[in-house]
């Protein structure tokens, strides 16, 4: 009997996009359940009562929550093509960099995006330092995963479309191709990959959404 896979997600969540891309890479059929985060469905609250967030993957009715946990689960159940390396140390490094992305790169990018003036200038330093680590990781490789998109590429996948959107809104280069040639090249290669490109949310809607978010955050600053 074929597995029943459902993905609860929103149209724009970068965390959910990780799972969308992973399922596509694995060649898996699934049903999409689009959520409205302002009016969470009974299903979302039932399947993720703790965090009440997307994405949630339902596999034969059993929920898996948290995007990186979902990626590992998909990789555990559906072996080909592999997302994580087989070697224990390489696997540990992949987990490390994915966590670094969520704990450091994403928040530092967000701080630059949601600030202005002197606050923004001060926020650029930490982001630059974080990006240097990523640049180093891409030496000699097409993708973080080597020659094919893997777990770490999916973890950083949000940069594939969001960086250029944020740069457009704040009129500031976040990933300068001169300072970060490998990372810039990765962003282009990743975002142009046919498997990845097919699922980018509409750019104009994303610009509108993130513009509104920036305005909202700037109003909060005392």
Cis ω before 46 (30° cut-off from 0): no
Binder among 29, 80, 89, 222 for other proteins (CB under 8 A): 89
CA distance 154 to 44: 23
* Options 2-10, 27-35, 68-76, 194-202: segment touching other proteins (CB under 8 A): 68-76
CA distance 5 to 20: 12
CA distance 107 to 24: 27
Q: Tell me the closest approach of the beta carbon of residue 99 to other proteins, in angstroms.
A: 6
Which of 7, 196 has the CB closer to other proteins? 7
Binder among 30, 73, 200, 217 for other proteins (CB under 8 A): 73
- SS3 of residue 199 by DSSP: coil
Which of 95, 111 has the CB closer to other proteins? 95
Q: Which residues pair with 56 in a beta bridge?
A: 8, 65
* Residue 206 in the binding site for other proteins (CB under 8 A): no
Binder among 8, 16, 56, 64 for other proteins (CB under 8 A): 64
Cis ω before 144 (30° cut-off from 0): no
> Where along the sequence are the contacts to other proteins (CB under 8 A)?
50, 59, 62, 64-66, 69-70, 72-73, 76-77, 88-89, 91-93, 95-96, 99-100, 133
């Amino acid at each position: 009997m074929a597995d029943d896979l459902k993905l609860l997600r929103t149209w724009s969540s970068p965390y959910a996009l990780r799972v969308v891309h992973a399922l596509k890479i694995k060649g898996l059929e699934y049903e999409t359940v689009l959520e409205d985060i302002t009016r969470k469905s009974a299903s979302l609250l039932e399947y993720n009562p703790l965090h009440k967030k997307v994405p949630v993957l339902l596999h034969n009715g059993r929920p898996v929550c948290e995007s990186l946990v979902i990626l590992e689960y998909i990789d555990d159940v559906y072996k080909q093509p592999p997302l994580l390396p087989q070697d224990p140390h390489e696997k540990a490094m992949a987990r490390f960099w994915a966590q670094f992305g969520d704990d450091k790169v994403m928040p530092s990018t967000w701080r630059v995006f949601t600030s202005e003036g002197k606050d923004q200038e001060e926020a650029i330093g930490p982001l630059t330092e974080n990006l240097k680590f990523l640049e180093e990781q891409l030496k000699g490789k097409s993708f973080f995963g080597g020659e094919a998109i893997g777990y770490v590429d999916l973890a950083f996948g949000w940069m594939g479309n969001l960086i250029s959107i944020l740069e457009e809104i704040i009129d500031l280069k976040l990933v300068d191709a001169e300072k970060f040639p490998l990372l810039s090249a990765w962003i282009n290669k990743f975002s142009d990959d046919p498997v990845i490109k097919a699922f980018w949310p509409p750019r104009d809607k994303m610009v509108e959404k993130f513009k509104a978010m920036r305005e909202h955050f700037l109003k909060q600053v005392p």
